[in-house]
Structure 1
Amino acid sequence: MPLMNWDSSLDVGVDKMNDEHQQILSLMNHIYDAREAGRSGPDVIALVDRLGQVTIDHFRDEEAYMEQIGYAGIASHKLIHKDLLDKFTGYASDIKGSGGQVPEKFLTFLKLWLTAHIRGIDMKYSPKADLLKAG
């Protein structure tokens, strides 16, 4: 069973961002599956590193998209991205230091990060945002 499944509540209405969010979710699920199977070591560290790189790339793409559309909340969104990356980096460092042991609190962080960030923060730049406000 995965940590989390993609559903329509995570659809921000921008195909590129949705694709990247799904890639992040997939990596999160791979890390979760590895932990559930009792795996650790270099393979798990590689998954965490890959998630970090995909996230950095995604945040860069997302910020470029927000600039392109003239999104007014970009400055605060960038600060949120920085905070998330700082927290992620701390967890990743701990995981590397432990030989690839993934703590439960890291998985909780990932799940809350993805759901709260996409549903609460990313939806604000979504083309669907006006519809959500009107509805």
Structure 2
Amino acid sequence: MNLIAKLPALASIIYKNSFKDSTEIEDINPCRDWSYNFARMLGFDNPQFADLLRLYLTIHSDHEGGNVSAHTTHLVGSALTDPYLSLAAGLNGLAGPLHGLANQEVLLWLQQVQNEYGDDASEEQIKEFVKETLKTTKNFKKWVT
């Protein structure tokens, strides 16, 4: 639990050190939610970014043990091993191209959207880009009209 509690601050320091030439992070505001505070720790003060981060974190937190990393963490933990070792085992499961690559593919797709439309893409342009992506993806052709 201690390790998990420290992850947002650690991730924020790494991010700010890598991309913002700083290691200072904002204090947690107990009147705001986790996503708002994490966005501020990362150095973003935009409410839309906090909302997007909230959505992203919600989607990615709903794993419940059915994927490689969650299953591995549960499996290693079931042997009553140290929680830190269980977490490390689960994180190693993210390295496989069938699990961790999904996040990477989403980021690459978002870069394609930005390259195509820039920073000011309209809602209609994004909808069209999504439709075109789905049309060219074999498994999704049947759902796109």
TM-score relative to the length of structure 2: 0.29
TM-score relative to the length of structure 1: 0.31
Instruction: Give the structure with higher Rg (CA).
Output: 2
